[in-house]
Amino acid sequence: MRSTSENRPVLVVDIGNTNIVCAVYRNTQIDWSVRLSSSYVKTADEYFASLNSLLQGYCRDQDQEAKALIPRDFFACIALGSVVPELTRIWKHLFRKYFSAEVYEISALSPLGISYKVPNPSFIGSDLVANAYAAWIKYASAAIVIDLGTATTLQVVSKTGGFEGAIIAPGLKTGAANLFSSAAQLYELEMVSPPVLLGTNTSEAVLSGIIHGHAFMLENFVQQLKRQYFDQHPLLTILTGGMAELMKPLVPSVDLVDKSLTTDGFFLALQKLLANN
């Protein structure tokens, strides 16, 4: 990374409602990532203990000495994106206490060159901003981005970096959990590709309803968006999020899966901010 001659790694932290993804970037490439559960009862010290332990393994993989505590100057800088204000405060405290790196918080107000259709885009989630920016910069194309997280989001970014808007729907696992908790005779199932469309037992029927139902929703949204934004042709459709590999075969309009799109977006945004300084 051009901001530091020592070529120290960069930490990206993406805080979501269900998970916190921590990723290490070195030489502009993602080098390591880990997923932690989002918890409102954990302290900054407890989060650091988990992160520090996992980073020991990363250091050993890099043939580096694994010390009891990761050095304060281990990271050149930190990119933070969050949709959970309470956890943002906890992680900022963690960064101040345990690292000397400067923290860059990425949001819709960050000067990235993205244009919005509203005068004050501060309400737009940082994950949507990161996805839009990564799709625009990495693929140099207008794109539909589908992110399968706690919520399923679809958004359109134009070929000139315009944030056209977003759709937010219940996530795959969120909808399934609500179904299981509300129906006494249904039980939680592993989220796998349904073997049939019409199930002949409860498990098959539930899986088909959850997985195929979500896939049909996504495919219809994509087709409708392509018709509405016909002037943006070709409109690349990118799938990301934890369930992306499962869903891709079931959504014919998806062009590619990019599992690191969101963290890549935060890292690319960080590079942009550093270049602006």
Q: Which of 261, 274, 271, 263 is nearest to 136 (CA)?
A: 261
pLDDT for the residue 6: 56
More confident residue, 107 or 3: 107
Name the DSSP letter for residue 123. Answer: G
pLDDT average, residue stretch 233-261: 95
Q: Which of 83, 215, 229 is nearest to 144 (CA)?
A: 229
Q: For the chain, state the CA radius of gyration.
A: 20
If pLDDT is split at 50, 70 and 90, which confidence band does 222 have? very high
Work out whether the CA dihedral 212, 217, 223, 229 comes out positive or negative.
Answer: negative
Pairing mode, strands 77-82 and 102-105: parallel
Q: Choosing from 127, 147, 258, 264, which is the catalytic residue?
A: 127
What would the two tokens of residue 70 be? 């990761």
pLDDT in tens, 141-200: 999 999 998 899 999 999 999 999 999 999 887 777 767 665 544 456 677 888 889 888
Chain centroid to CA 151: 11
Mean pLDDT estimate for the chain? 90
What would the two tokens of residue 202 be? 């409860």
pLDDT for the residue 245: 92
Name the DSSP letter for residue 5. Answer: T
Residue corresponding to tokens 């696992």: 173
Name the DSSP letter for residue 208. Answer: I
For the chain, what's the residue count?
277
Identity of the amino acid at 201: N
Residue 5: is its pLDDT beyond 70?
A: no
Active site residue 127: yes
pLDDT average, residue stretch 222-246: 94
Spatial contact of 127 and 262, defined as CB atoms under 8 Å apart: yes
Output the CA–CA distances (angstroms, integers) from residue 132 to 160, 181, 220, 229, 269, in the order listed. Answer: 11, 34, 21, 16, 11
Using CA atoms, how far apart are residues 175 and 213, in angstroms rounded to an integer? 11
pLDDT in tens, 67-76: 678 899 999 9
Using CA atoms, how far apart are residues 107 and 165, in angstroms rounded to an integer? 15
If pLDDT is split at 50, 70 and 90, which confidence band does 58 have? confident
Residue 258: is its pLDDT beyond 50?
A: yes
Q: Which of 220, 178, 186 is nearest to 205 (CA)?
A: 186
Share of the chain above pLDDT 90, in %: 73
Residue 7: is its pLDDT beyond 70?
A: yes
Residue 39: in which H helix or E strand, if any? none
